[in-house]
Structure 1
């Protein structure tokens, strides 16, 4: 089923903290243009150039904004990765309520292969909450998580972990002799979890890339 462009646009604005007025001005329209499109259905469809600008801004296919199927041709060579609508907390812990990916990012395939050999269905974009991993990761950052780089491959690095029903993002440091694990926060204001058994670490995936909005 093709998603409603208005729902897609409203969801992207909410996720990224953008407002309708600024997007309207980016398109050279009056400040109420996008709000009227989303909330009142006026205009019924975005113009081709408007779709193109918004798709490039959000890093999505034009088809998600009402464009024809052939509008996806320029994305040849790109690999799409779903955004999982849960947050990985760099703080007390974020509770996932729906792990079905919908909006997605697109990465250049050769660049992505330089990061990981995992297929795209083993990758997910998750948003960080909290500041316990600052300054490495800040609240609101998007992280690319390799779901296939876990388990027996666990090694020093930053991972998304599942603790009870919550997801947390932390740094893992493994003692190579004792094979014990320290779960660390990059922010010194937060305590570490020292001397954990490897089998007690419920790993979701390894963080291999992060993107953030500059302010």
Structure 2
């Protein structure tokens, strides 16, 4: 039975709780591009480079989105996604470094694991994690991301979800020698805005992408009830 690539893409978007406009911007298209493709059938088929990018983003085969069948290849016995499905609890290392939500800081311990925090595997799957080996928990310092993130909050960061899959969201990034957590927004002209949620702190509506290294996407946050 032939796969309907539009239905497959729509199901992936719903399952991962993505939005049409954000995916369109990720592809460098106008914000309505993906919604028009899924809902109205225009364009009739995805451009090859768009299909390839979406398949990589959702970690599915191009065939699932209307591409040609892929040549069969052996699957490792302990593939990360299979390991995630099989486990009940995943121990995620808490790194000994601070992501500043203020002016930017970096502790000197360079990410050595201090301890591990347990996460339920179903929760990680719901968050869209493919390979748990790319996960770290780090602690926020500063208040520039209030009310989304407060000083002392722990954040779950997926380093496998970084620049190559960039879309609107909250990320940990490195700017020269500073590690910080900020909201990133893709501009229609291809530029990048680096934003503080707290209006009392500085934002960079047109950041120099060449000076920013994206470490990973923030998937979850937890902290003391205030």
Question: Which of 171, 178, 193 pairs up with 2:183?
Answer: 171
Q: Which runs of 4+ in 1 moved over 3 A?
A: 197-200
User: Match of 1:87?
Assistant: 98
Count of aligned pairs: 139
How far apart in 1 are the matches of 2:156 and 2:216?
9
Which residue matches 1:123?
Answer: 135
Cα distance in 2, alignment partners of residues 198 and 114 from structure 1: 30
CA contact (8 A) 1:118 1:146 kept: no
Structure 2 residue 202 is matched with structure 1 residue 191: yes
* Aligned counterparts of 2:123 and 2:204: Cα–Cα separation in 1: 34
Which residues of 2 match residues 58-97 of structure 1 at below 5 A? 77-97=88-108
- After TM superposition, the score normalised by the length of structure 2 is 0.59
8 Å contact from structure 1 (residues 96, 165) kept in 2 = no
1:212 aligned onto 2:209: no
Unmatched segments (≥5 aa) in structure 2: 1-86
Secondary structure of 1:112's match?
helix
2 CA distance for matches of 1:169 and 1:185?
9
RMSD: 1.3
Unaligned runs of 5+ in 1: 1-75
- 1:154 and 2:150 correspond: no
Aligned partner of residue 135 in structure 1, secondary structure: coil
**What CA deviation, in whole Å up to 9, does each residue of 1:112-170 have, x standing for no partner?**
11112332220000000000000110000000001010112111000001012221000
1:142 aligns with 2:154: yes
